Structure 1
């Protein structure tokens, strides 16, 4: 009996450890840090330089559950009736998305780029992997309409966790002004991604990955409000009938490329898929800037005029 109790305590302690690693904001050793020094050799130098120099409006909003103040950059495009809502990835901040702000500005869009709750300057205790944040994004959509009027046409765009958030948002009841979605390298579900990372980062076999992920899921339910399996991009995509462009790096090992095919099959609306040749996770734009812009521009031109 004592041995059983000891084993349970060990697994529970390990579950809390992995919850902290995965869901509590802070430095993550498994994430590669990108240089903040802008170099002319950067393939997106022009876009990043533009973002550093352009004036940004500060927008603030209470989260959908009224617990936290959220922080966003808004960059207007003169007399535009089109707005792109740009969603950062895991432990990214709105400033990391400047190259995408520039991309959409070049295409004639206003851009609204919020820090997700618990990231950047937005308040929050835990990372919700898009499942919690999806309600915040719906509220940001309504904020854009309140500010810019009912004639706005909106696209929701996200990278990595922001991409999963985009897909999860797509399954909500949304204003008619949301015309399309663009997602870049998102996962099929929170549970799938955490199980994958447990195997890759810790070389963890099926046991003890099970039951550790299940224990983490239970902790997440108590602290964040949902079981990991509930955070499903695929289930939300089953409810989506709006157009969606799927982008994924051909050599993505952080969010495996194979996940995009399941997501692509799940959505019910008009759709396109582009696999960026040889690109790793969230590097498709840097590796193929002209092709990336062309795919986004040509897809959205069909639905946003």
Structure 2
């Protein structure tokens, strides 16, 4: 073999490896790095002409407390808004926001539960809102933080409270992943809206959808990066795995027209648990738009489910 041919044969695999490494690093930062600012018009930063603004305005004006975990540790401090309801402090909704969102982006959900007589706790997940962190963990570490928030709620409001876990998109995945861990008896029901089956499934789907790229070899490399940065591999982050251990009643909601977290994932999540359960596929609803597509029916469906399990 000529020297030039041998050099080419050894260089091409090397270049391919370098290219894959650069691509995986780019995709990791694209998918995992926190936002520096919220886009104008988003649910976290709505303009007056958006559907989010009335509930966002209510949320900003509502009397509330700032709660903190790890308050003296700048790199690990976590924030939540606590909104006590003068009508009822025994029913509590813990509300988990979506990917690259914030507690404020869940204003409509907070108002929905508050108007139904719930006290509300809305955390900012790691690397979101007022909480510390640079990289998003897709709910896997957040689920542990929410367990700490539950302890704070019970310490503040007493052991007689009844708690509902509610989340949309990544928040939906977060509360599903919580369901496989030991939960305090005060948690009576879970409502998840358009959560994914696993971080690996969702990222593989987005690689294909947005970049026209296959799962291999990029996603295993991204997983290795995340193991170094956040301490866990992507195959750990599985709602499906956690739901198999779930015993808490759970209501699955998903938009029929969801192309961001494909609707098929809802059917998979539903099938994964043997706990008391119900499912509603919302006609014509896109990702995280089920409430906005049909607010009255959404409200009724959630209420009907929760009334089975709360006093």
| TM-score bin (small chain) | over 0.9
1:15 aligns with 2:21: no
Which residue number in structure 2 is paired with residue 114 of structure 1? 123
Residues in 2 aligned to 1:10 and 1:31: alpha-carbon distance in whole angstroms: 34
1:275 aligns with 2:281: yes
Which residue number in structure 1 is paired with residue 68 of structure 2? 60
- Per-residue CA deviation, residues 188-225 of structure 1 (Å, 9 max, x unaligned), is 00000000001111122x3xx31111111111111111
Which residue number in structure 2 is paired with residue 160 of structure 1? 169
Which residue number in structure 1 is paired with residue 230 of structure 2? 224
Unmatched segments (≥5 aa) in structure 1:
none
Query: What's the TM-score once normalised by structure 2's chain length?
Result: 0.91
Kindly tell me: are residues 133 and 66 of structure 1, through their superposed partners in 2, closer, same or farther at Cα, counting changes over 3 Å? farther
Residues in 2 aligned to 1:249 and 1:23: alpha-carbon distance in whole angstroms: 25
Aligned partner of residue 259 in structure 1, secondary structure: helix
Find the partner of 2:256 among 250, 260, 272: 250
Unmatched segments (≥5 aa) in structure 2:
1-9
Number of residue-to-residue matches in the alignment: 299
Find the partner of 1:286 among 281, 292, 299: 292
Residues in 1 aligned to 2:74 and 2:53: alpha-carbon distance in whole angstroms: 38
Aligned partner of residue 126 in structure 1, secondary structure: coil
- Per-residue CA deviation, residues 273-294 of structure 1 (Å, 9 max, x unaligned), is 0111100000011111001100
Which residue number in structure 2 is paired with residue 50 of structure 1? 58
- Within 5 Å, which residues of 2 pair with 1:143-182? 143-182=152-191
Ranked by relative contact order (alpha carbons within 8 Å, sequence separation 6 or more), the top structure is 1
Q: CA deviation at 1:3?
A: 2.4
Q: CA deviation at 1:31?
A: 11
Aligned partner of residue 210 in structure 1, secondary structure: coil
Find the partner of 2:113 among 88, 92, 104: 104
1:71 aligns with 2:55: no
Kindly tell me: are residues 177 and 214 of structure 1, through their superposed partners in 2, closer, same or farther at Cα, counting changes over 3 Å? same
Find the partner of 1:131 among 135, 140, 143: 140
Q: CA deviation at 1:231?
A: 0.5
Q: CA deviation at 1:56?
A: 1.4
Residues in 1 aligned to 2:53 and 2:222: alpha-carbon distance in whole angstroms: 41
Residues in 2 aligned to 1:231 and 1:200: alpha-carbon distance in whole angstroms: 20
Residues in 2 aligned to 1:164 and 1:129: alpha-carbon distance in whole angstroms: 8
Residues in 2 aligned to 1:27 and 1:197: alpha-carbon distance in whole angstroms: 22
Query: What's the TM-score once normalised by structure 1's chain length?
Result: 0.92
1:38 aligns with 2:38: no
Kindly tell me: are residues 234 and 100 of structure 1, through their superposed partners in 2, closer, same or farther at Cα, counting changes over 3 Å? same
Which residue number in structure 2 is paired with residue 183 of structure 1? 192
Residues in 1 aligned to 2:40 and 2:59: alpha-carbon distance in whole angstroms: 24
Aligned partner of residue 217 in structure 1, secondary structure: helix
Q: CA deviation at 1:29?
A: 11
